[in-house]
Structure 1
Amino acid sequence: MTCVFYVQSTAQPYVEGGQTRHRFAQLLIGADAVLFPASGQTFALDGDGSLSDFTPNAALVPRINIAGTHFWGHANFYISIPVANVLDNSVPFGGDYTFNPGVETGLRVYPWRIEEKKFRPFVGAAFAISDWQQNSNRGSGAFAHQTRFPVQLGLTWQRKQLLFELGAGQFLNNQTDYYVSPNDAVEIELPSTYFWLGCNWQIETTLSAEKSWKSGQTAATVERLEEKRALSGWSVAVGPSSAFILGRSPRNDKLYPAIGRHSGAAIFPEFGLGYYHYPWDAHLNLAFRANRSERSAYGTAQVLQRRALTLEAYKFLFDYHGFVPFIGPHLSREWLSMEETVQRSTPYEGSEVQWVPGVTFGWDIRPNQLQGFILRTNLRYTPTQNIGPEGGVSFRQLEFNFIQLVLYPGRIKRMQRALR
Structure 2
Amino acid sequence: MLSEDDVLAARDRVADVARHTPLDHSYSFSAMTDAAVHLKLENTQRTGAFKIRGAANRIRTLTDAEQAAGVVTASAGNHAQGVALAASRSGVDATVVMPEYAPYSKVTATRSYGATVVLHGEDYNDAQARAHEIERESDRVYVHAFDDEDVMAGQGTIGLEILDDLPSVETIVVAIGGGGLIAGIATAVKARKPDVRVVGVQAEGAPSAARALEQGSVCELDGVDTIADGIATRSVGERTFPYIQDRVDEVVTVSDDEIALAVTLLLERAKTLVEPAGAVPVAALLEERFDVDPDEVVVPLLSGGNIDMNLLTTVILRGLADQGRYLKIRMTLPDRPGSLRQVTDVIADERANIYAIEHDRTSGDIAMNDTEIEVDMQTRGEEHVEGLLSRLREKGYDVEVLV
TM-score scaled by length of structure 2: 0.26
**In proportion to residue count, which structure has more helix?**
2
TM-score scaled by length of structure 1: 0.25
**In proportion to residue count, which structure has more strand?**
1
